[in-house]
Amino acid sequence: AIPYEKIKQPASEMTRLVHNDYLEQASDSGLIGLLTYGLFIAGALVWGYPTPKPLGQGSEETDWFAFSVWLGVLGWSLQSLLEFSLYVPALAWPAFTFLGLLLANRGRNQSVNVNVA
């Protein structure tokens, strides 16, 4: 096995990060930053949860797609308990993009359509 020191130098960023996104937010931003970030992620997951549509208002495929995206974002947020994926742009950008997609989908589903005869 190759020693970790040969792969990552002690001065590199990955060796200085906490191995948890939530703890990293706490160490970078303090308790207020931790609470803000935690509430943002939890609130977005709760708000972005795809609600079932009444019969005849959209396809089941759309519901399964939204639920699959929500599960992926939930998995990413749980994985953040063990890793620092916010510091890897290839992981963070898609996760926040999917989170935005969920919230946009939620807003579209809750819009009120007024029929004027």
* 86 within 8 A of 80, measured Cβ to Cβ: yes
pLDDT tens digits, 72-104: 999 999 999 998 888 889 999 999 999 999 999
Secondary structure of residue 49 in the 3-state scheme: coil
At 71, the pLDDT band (50, 70, 90 cuts) reads very high
Per DSSP, 54 falls in state: P
Rounded to two decimals, the pTM is: 0.75
Domain boundaries, the chain: 8-108
Per DSSP, 28 falls in state: H
CA–CA separation, 115 vs 53, rounded Å?
A: 19
pLDDT tens digits, 4-14: 667 777 777 77
Secondary structure of residue 16 in the 3-state scheme: helix
Tokens 């579209």 -> residue: 108
